[in-house]
Amino acid sequence: MNNNILTGHIDLSSFEPASAQEKEYMVQLRPSTTFFKDGCKRLYKNKVAFVSLIVIVLIIVLSIALPLVWPYSYDRQLGNRPGRPVDPSFNNLRPLEYSLSEQAAIEEGESVFPHLFGTDAAGRDYFIRVVYGTRISLAVGFFASIIVLVIGMTLGSIAGFSGGKVDMVIMRIVDIIYSLPDMLMVILLASVMRESLGPAIDRYAFLRDIGSNIISLFVIFALLYWCSMARLIRGQILSLREQEYVLAAQATGAKSGWIIRKHLIPNCISVIIISTALQIPNAIFTESFLSFLGLGVNAPMPSLGSLASDALNGISSYGYRLAIPAIVISLIVLSLNLFGDGLRDAFDPKLNQ
Amino acid sequence: MSLLEVTDLHTSFFTDAGEVKAVNGVSFFLDRGKVLGIVGESGSGKSVTAYSILQILAPTGRIVSGSIKLDGQELVGAGEKVMQDVRGNRISIIFQDPMTSLNPTYTIGHQLMEAIMLHTNRNKRQAWDRAVEMLRLVNINEPEKRMKQYPFEHSGGMRQRIMIAMALACEPDILIADEPTTALDVTIQAQILELMQDLQKKLGMAIIMITHDLGVIAQLCDEVVVMYAGSYCERGTADEVFYNPKHEYTKGLLRSIPTLDTVGQRLKPIIGTPIDLLNLPKGCPFAPRCDAAMKICVREAPKSQDINEFHKASCWMNVKALVEAQAALEEQPAAPDEAPEPAAAPAAIAEGGDDE
Amino acid sequence: MDSKTLRYIVKRIILAIVTLWAVITITFFVMHAVPGGPFTREKAISAEAQASLEAKYGLDKPLFEQYTTYLNDALHGNFGPSIKQRGRMVTDVIIDGMRTSAKIGLIALVIATSFGILFGAVAALRRNTLLDKVIMVMTTAFVSMPSFIMGSLLLIVVCVTLKLLPANGASEGGLILPVITLALYPMAYITRLTRSSMLDVLGQDYIRTAKAKGVSERMIIVKHALKNSLIPVITYFGPQLAYIVTGSLVVEQIFAVPGIGRYFVNSITGRDYTLIMGTTIVLAALIVIMNLVSDILYKIVDPRINLE
């Protein structure tokens, strides 16, 4: 717009009053979204969390899909075929090496699927053991978290809704269990459980397949780790009740229920999801820790922790056997943590700027 | 030359959500010993302007362009060392919330002496004396005893006095007061304002008073800047702006104050809510809420015009008035004594258009 | 100190005592829930031999009596004889192991705390710069890696591949890697804690006042910000110790360090029940007490107390 405004340069019609629409057009309100959509948008923008999510999904998909198509199974000792003499050349193969009989087969023109990570001391394909171990670790982590979620929600809700003596008793128990040094108790219980639960488990074929150690792991988690979830839920319920009274005092009648549902349920759910998402890597870590100490899954079932533990023995010659499960666990736990952090940044209403 | 000259200041905050344009082209100047008021709603950019002067913006904030000259010395881009010398020494500031603005873990004496020893050459003993002197100046009784006490042992009004004492300890040329009475009770407000008036007369420093309370402006200020959505609407002497407002926003503000004349009538607030600084529209930022908004207001932001020697405003209504006056005069052949006006009017517009 | 704080402290002490009691009780009953007792795993022994062994260890008495006896003994520091290490008292084994483990643990604690605070402060001050981002990435990585992973990787890289340090904890310089492994997670955690706490403090109004007075950035940090930022780090002392205790179980396995962690793990696989119990209780007591101390310390220095 030039500086010298002379009458001729201005269109007098510009001085006519502006209509209401023209004024509104100036103000582009940011499109209002629901809490959920807003959070998803923020999560999407967080590249790190997004990449982590992709990594986790990839790992999960691979751990489920690969054992189905892989020619080797995790418990098959390849040198140990029924009816034939034991072939020790299958043992301790380096990545992409072949045993003697396999080499012979190749020379005859057969194609043998390569051992990407070699084989372990018992002649089992290491790659598929790692993949299977990942599956176990993920499954244990996931189910343990679900168990914790269910128990925590139940007890937390009971405490929150009942109030009074029931609430107090439950909270005292929570306090005590919370103060227990969890790892020590876990180790203690783990070392004992498999002995005592053994006979109980053997009765059910389904449970036997899973293995006494994993069952005892679930039992331990159920006993010890539900506390923080219970506290969270109880806290949410208490604040819900407080809001209810406040709103009731304002005599808005039926509207109060709607407001509570609209504002507090998103709060609750996001808190639950975030807490669970951060619990899963914790569970996986505990499981691998126990397996590392020999208290985890039963042989021959592999878990990333037990694979690492077994590999300690041959570490000078077969260092990669320790490094591979170590890296995989780190990747899983790291991605889950980053994703959980991203979830929290996106959905935690308290952290909103 | 004025003591402080702010020219076309633009300050923005660069957040994850985008650039928040907090201050868009504000200019004013402050002479020695004068009191300037900056008035506007919350979010109008008044505090940000003050923080820009001292360069104490939050980490995401930055002065994008413009100039701030203290006694001719350019402060924008002058560097930390220069600014540390200016802060607390030549320009001081007191904040809105005295409860949180003092460090809870240090004694009052310590905090006062810190400022004194930073900028003057006094030793501990002299700093102590000076601090006590300052406490007395702000009418705090038993100053020696207070020196050893902690902020939490005092009320809001007392803490604000302590803040004032701290700010004035090094005899600054300018005191910036960012809504100093908003967080206080009404009676305390009056005391603090009276104190500030008193000190101003005694010490002769210039004051920039930031507030949303027009009454405070009327009581204390020589000159006023009215801000809205980061831009300035009008500025001039207090009398001019109050009795001859030339911006629709100012008019709206003044209209909305209930007076004895309007007893029994409906209150006339300005409808609507302040604009979103992330998505500043192209035209005048006040247009969506302005009753008198015109098509040109929606299209383009107005430039500043001189109303008279003491008064500038940025509002298309003024241009419209001038244009209409010109058109009216052109329709009739000019009578000799009216002839000079049309010549003067466009000249005034032309001049007003290109400064600040 | 006002009455509210005092009440809190008393409550916490009671909780700690109850927890300790719970630990001893749980440990006792869990161990005795194992079917067959500690001797049935041995190579077959005659019924009389078994009976006399059980009498010797007091295992023929009713369970509750055994419990009270054990409780009484434990409170006096007597955890009985080790079942597998013939001739040694559990207490002696524990003290022996603690010598090495305490050394490693304390050094790791000191390293973790000092470097953690340093890195955290630097990250907060150079927020959003490259340095900050690098620190954040590294801490995230270390925080996600379980101690046995770190330890294993370090073992492979430093000892096996590069052959810089011995893999055996008992040898010269063999304690360096265990200390580093133990220190990494707490250091990363403290870095993040310090950073967020300092950012929080730096956003406070009184920091702005200090800046407006012309105080230099360095002085703002040292005088005004640091004190308040370090308070959350104090609360972390308890959990930090817990981590070091459990971490040492693994680290001592990996690096063959003759410490209490290693004895504990071996006692589990070897089913040395008295040793398992004794070690669990001692370590648990350590953790519970440390948690108590750090909780109390925090309550005392909480700035909100000062503002009363």
- Note the pLDDT tens digit of each residue in B265-312: 777 777 777 777 777 777 888 877 887 777 778 778 888 888 887 888
Residue C110 is predicted with a pLDDT of 92
| Contact between C23 and A185 using a beta-carbon 8 Å cutoff | yes
Q: Which long-range contacts (CB under 8 A, 24 or more apart) does C205-209 make?
A: C205/B95, C205/B97, C205/B100, C205/B101, C206/B100, C206/B101, C206/B102, C206/B103, C206/B104, C208/B56, C208/B95, C208/B101, C209/B95, C209/B101, C209/B102, C209/B103, C209/B163
Question: Which range (B253-262, C123-132, C290-299) has the least confidence?
Answer: B253-262
Give the whole-angstrom CA distance, residue A277 versus residue A337. Answer: 8
| Contact between B163 and C209 using a beta-carbon 8 Å cutoff | yes
The SS3 call for residue A17 is strand
| B residues 158..177 contacting C (CB < 8 A) | 163, 166
Q: What is the pLDDT of residues A91-127, one digit of tens each?
A: 777 777 777 777 777 777 777 777 777 777 777 788 8
What confidence category does residue B240 fall into, taking pLDDT thresholds of 50, 70 and 90? confident
Residue B53 is predicted with a pLDDT of 92
Pairing of strands B73-74, B61-70: antiparallel
Residue A244 is predicted with a pLDDT of 66
- Give me the percent of chain A exceeding a pLDDT of 70: 70
What confidence category does residue B37 fall into, taking pLDDT thresholds of 50, 70 and 90? very high
Q: What is the pLDDT of residues B115-160, one digit of tens each?
A: 888 888 888 898 999 999 899 988 888 888 888 888 888 888 888 9
Residue A264 is predicted with a pLDDT of 61
Phi, psi values for residue B207, rounded to 5°: -130, 135
B349 pLDDT above the threshold of 50: no
Phi, psi values for residue C126, rounded to 5°: -105, 45
CB of C216 within 8 Å of a chain B CB? The answer is yes
CB of A55 within 8 Å of a chain C CB? The answer is no
**Residue B177: its chain C contacts at CB < 8 A?**
none
Give the whole-angstrom CA distance, residue C105 versus residue C281. Answer: 18
CB of A197 within 8 Å of a chain C CB? The answer is no
CB of A103 within 8 Å of a chain C CB? The answer is no
| Contact between A1 and B303 using a beta-carbon 8 Å cutoff | yes
- Give the mutation candidate from A15, A28, A32, A353 for the B interface (greatest B CB count, under 10 A): A15
| Contact between C33 and A192 using a beta-carbon 8 Å cutoff | yes
CB of B115 within 8 Å of a chain C CB? The answer is yes
What is the least distance, in Å, from the CA of A313 to any CA of chain C? 10
Average pLDDT over every residue of B66-95: 89
| Contact between C214 and B93 using a beta-carbon 8 Å cutoff | no
Residue B35 is predicted with a pLDDT of 92
Nearest CB among B276, B293, B319 relative to A5 is that of: B319
CB of B292 within 8 Å of a chain A CB? The answer is yes
**Residue B95: its chain C contacts at CB < 8 A?**
205, 208-209, 212
A2 pLDDT above the threshold of 50: no
Mean pLDDT value across chain B: 83
What confidence category does residue B350 fall into, taking pLDDT thresholds of 50, 70 and 90? very low
CB of B88 within 8 Å of a chain C CB? The answer is yes
| Contact between A323 and C156 using a beta-carbon 8 Å cutoff | yes
Token code pair at residue C95: 């003290």
B337 pLDDT above the threshold of 60: no
| Contact between C253 and A319 using a beta-carbon 8 Å cutoff | no
A10 pLDDT above the threshold of 60: no
| B residues 14..33 contacting A (CB < 8 A) | 15-16
| Contact between A26 and B319 using a beta-carbon 8 Å cutoff | no
| Contact between B275 and A6 using a beta-carbon 8 Å cutoff | no
Residue A352 is predicted with a pLDDT of 42
Give the whole-angstrom CA distance, residue C235 versus residue C232. Answer: 5
| Contact between B54 and C216 using a beta-carbon 8 Å cutoff | no
Nearest CB among B279, B290, B320 relative to A15 is that of: B320
Average pLDDT over every residue of C233-262: 83
A30 pLDDT above the threshold of 60: no
Token code pair at residue C177: 């890697």
**Element spanning C127, H or E:** none
**How would you write chain B as a 3-class SS string?**
CCCEEEEEEEEEEEECCEEEEEEEEEEEEECCCCEEEEECCCCCCHHHHHHHHHCCCCCCEEEEEEEEEECCEECCCCCHHHHHHHECCCEEEECCCCCCCCCCCCCHHHHHHHHHHHHCCCCHHHHHHHHHHHHHHCCCCCHHHHHCCCHHHCCHHHHHHHHHHHHHCCCCCEEEEECCCCCCCHHHHHHHHHHHHHHHHHHCCEEEEEECCHHHHHHHCCEEEEEECCEEEEEEEHHHHHHCCCCHHHHHHHHHCCCHHHCCCCCCCCCCCCCCCCCCCCCCCCHHHCCCCEHHHHHCCCCCEEEECCEEECCHHHHHHHHHHHHHHHHCCCCHHHCHHHHHHHHHHHHHHHCC
What confidence category does residue B175 fall into, taking pLDDT thresholds of 50, 70 and 90? very high
Give the whole-angstrom CA distance, residue A289 versus residue A287. Answer: 5
Residue B339 is predicted with a pLDDT of 43
Q: What is the pLDDT of residues A273-301, one digit of tens each?
A: 778 877 888 888 888 888 877 777 766 77
ipTM: 0.77
What confidence category does residue A202 fall into, taking pLDDT thresholds of 50, 70 and 90? low
Average pLDDT over every residue of C11-26: 86
Q: What is the pLDDT of residues B201-222, one digit of tens each?
A: 888 889 999 988 888 888 888 9
Looking at per-residue confidence, does A7 or C95 come out higher? C95
The structure's pTM equals 0.74
Question: Which range (A337-346, B124-133, C46-55, C130-139) has the least confidence?
Answer: C46-55
Q: For A310, which residue in chain C has the nearest alpha carbon?
A: C254
Question: Which range (A160-174, B64-78, C115-129) has the least confidence?
Answer: A160-174
Looking at per-residue confidence, does A251 or B293 come out higher? B293
Alpha-helix runs per DSSP H in A46-125? 47-69, 100-107
User: How many Cα atoms are found within 13 Å in the side-chain-facing hemisphere of A160?
Assistant: 20
| Contact between B103 and C224 using a beta-carbon 8 Å cutoff | yes
| Contact between A181 and C245 using a beta-carbon 8 Å cutoff | yes
What is the least distance, in Å, from the CA of B38 to any CA of chain A? 25
What confidence category does residue C115 fall into, taking pLDDT thresholds of 50, 70 and 90? very high
Question: Strand pairing partners for B4?
Answer: B30, B70
Size of interface A-C (CB pairs under 8 A): 122
| Contact between B281 and A6 using a beta-carbon 8 Å cutoff | no
Residue B343 is predicted with a pLDDT of 43
Size of interface A-B (CB pairs under 8 A): 77
Give the whole-angstrom CA distance, residue C298 versus residue A217. Answer: 34
C149 pLDDT above the threshold of 70: yes
| C residues 60..119 contacting A (CB < 8 A) | none
**Element spanning C85, H or E:** none
Work out the angle between the directed axes of helices C3-31 and A164-179 (0-180°, nearest 10): 70
What confidence category does residue C50 fall into, taking pLDDT thresholds of 50, 70 and 90? low
Q: For A13, which residue in chain B has the nearest alpha carbon?
A: B295
Give the whole-angstrom CA distance, residue C166 versus residue C172. Answer: 8
Residue pointed to by tokens 């980053």? A338
C18 Cβ contact partners less than 8 Å away, ≥ 6 residues apart: A176
Residue A4 is predicted with a pLDDT of 41
Residue B345 is predicted with a pLDDT of 42
| Contact between A184 and C265 using a beta-carbon 8 Å cutoff | no
Question: Which range (A259-273, C109-123, C140-154) has the least confidence?
Answer: A259-273
Give the dihedral sign, CA A226/A230/A232/A233. positive
Looking at per-residue confidence, does B272 or A303 come out higher? A303
Nearest CB among B283, B324, B330 relative to A26 is that of: B283
What is the least distance, in Å, from the CA of A49 to any CA of chain B? 16
Residue C40 is predicted with a pLDDT of 54
A253 Cβ contact partners less than 8 Å away, ≥ 6 residues apart: none
Average pLDDT over every residue of A174-178: 82
Cβ-in-10-Å burial (0-12, 13-18, 19+) of B81 comes to exposed
| C residues 185..244 contacting A (CB < 8 A) | 242
- N- to C-terminal Cα separation, chain A: 38
What is the least distance, in Å, from the CA of A254 to any CA of chain C? 40
Nearest CB among A187, A292, A333 relative to C268 is that of: A187
Q: What is the pLDDT of residues C159-182, one digit of tens each?
A: 777 777 766 766 666 778 888 888
B104 pLDDT above the threshold of 90: no
What confidence category does residue A324 fall into, taking pLDDT thresholds of 50, 70 and 90? confident
Average pLDDT over every residue of C72-93: 73
